[in-house]
Amino acid sequence: MFRRAIIWLACLLAAVSTSAAEPLEIFIDADFSKSTASATSITLGVRTALDEVGHRIGGQDVILRSMDHRGNVKRSFRHMQDLQRNENALLMIGGMQSPSYLTHRDFINENRLLTLLPWSAAGPITRAAEGRENWIFRLSVDDTKSGRFLADAAVTDAGCESISLLLLDTGWGKANHGPLVAALDAQGIPPQSVNFFANSIGEAAAGTLAERLSRNPPECIIMLSNWQGGALLVNALHQHLPEVRLFSHWGIMGGAFSRLVPHEVRTAHGLSVLQTCGLRREQAGNQVLRAALSRALENETGNLADLPAPTGFVHGYDLTRVLIAAAEQAATTPGWSGTVQQKRMALKTALEHLHHPVEGILKTYSMPFAPYTAQTPDAHEALGLGDMCLARFNSAGQLVDMH
pLDDT at 9: 41
Distance CA 201, CA 229 (A): 6
- Are the beta carbons of 228 and 254 closer than 8 angstroms? no
CB pairs under 8 A, 24+ apart, for 343-352? Answer: 343/24, 343/58, 343/90, 344/90, 344/91, 344/112, 344/113, 344/114, 344/135, 345/112, 347/58, 347/90, 347/91, 347/114, 347/323, 348/112, 348/114, 348/135, 350/326, 351/137, 351/322, 351/323, 351/326, 352/379
List the end-to-end C-alpha distance of the chain, in Å, as a whole number: 79
The burial of 53, by beta-carbon neighbours within 10 Å (0-12 exposed, 13-18 middle, 19 or more buried), is given as middle
Q: All domains of the chain, ordered by start, with CATH?
A: 23-142+292-386 (3.40.50.2300), 150-275+389-401 (3.40.50.2300)
- Are the beta carbons of 37 and 309 closer than 8 angstroms? yes
CA of 318: how far to CAs of 62, 241, 304, 385, in Å? 17, 40, 14, 17
- Least Cα distance to 245 among 226, 227, 266, 214 occurs for 266
Distance CA 57, CA 63 (A): 10
pLDDT at 147: 93
- Least Cα distance to 196 among 223, 169, 177, 218 occurs for 169
pLDDT at 255: 81
pLDDT at 239: 97
C-alpha angle 242-245-248 in degrees, rounded to nearest 5: 120
pLDDT at 131: 85
pLDDT at 171: 86
pLDDT at 130: 83
One-letter amino acid for residue 41 of the chain = S
Per-residue pLDDT of the chain (403 residues; tens, 9 = 90+): 434 433 344 444 444 443 446 999 999 999 999 889 899 999 999 999 999 999 999 999 999 999 999 999 999 999 999 999 999 999 999 999 999 999 999 999 999 999 999 999 999 999 998 889 999 999 999 999 999 999 999 999 999 999 999 999 998 899 899 999 999 999 999 999 999 999 999 999 999 999 999 999 999 999 999 999 999 999 999 999 999 999 999 989 878 899 999 999 999 999 999 999 999 999 899 999 999 999 999 877 788 988 888 999 999 999 999 999 999 999 999 999 999 999 999 999 999 999 999 999 999 999 999 999 999 999 999 999 999 999 999 999 988 887 6
Distance CA 210, CA 231 (A): 13
pLDDT at 264: 97
- H helices present in 55-170, as ranges: 73-85, 99-103, 105-110, 143-152
What are the phi and psi torsion angles at 119 (to 5°)? -145, -50
Distance CA 161, CA 3 (A): 87
pLDDT at 7: 39
User: Which DSSP state fits 119?
Assistant: S
One-letter amino acid for residue 400 of the chain = V
**Residues near 227 by Cβ (< 8 Å), separated by ≥ 6?**
35, 251, 252, 253, 254, 255, 256, 257
- Are the beta carbons of 233 and 196 closer than 8 angstroms? no
- H helices present in 65-139, as ranges: 73-85, 99-103, 105-110
- Are the beta carbons of 302 and 315 closer than 8 angstroms? no
What does pTM read for this prediction?
0.90
Distance CA 179, CA 340 (A): 38
Helix (H) / strand (E) element for 164: namely strand 163-168
Distance CA 388, CA 146 (A): 8
**Residues near 337 by Cβ (< 8 Å), separated by ≥ 6?**
none
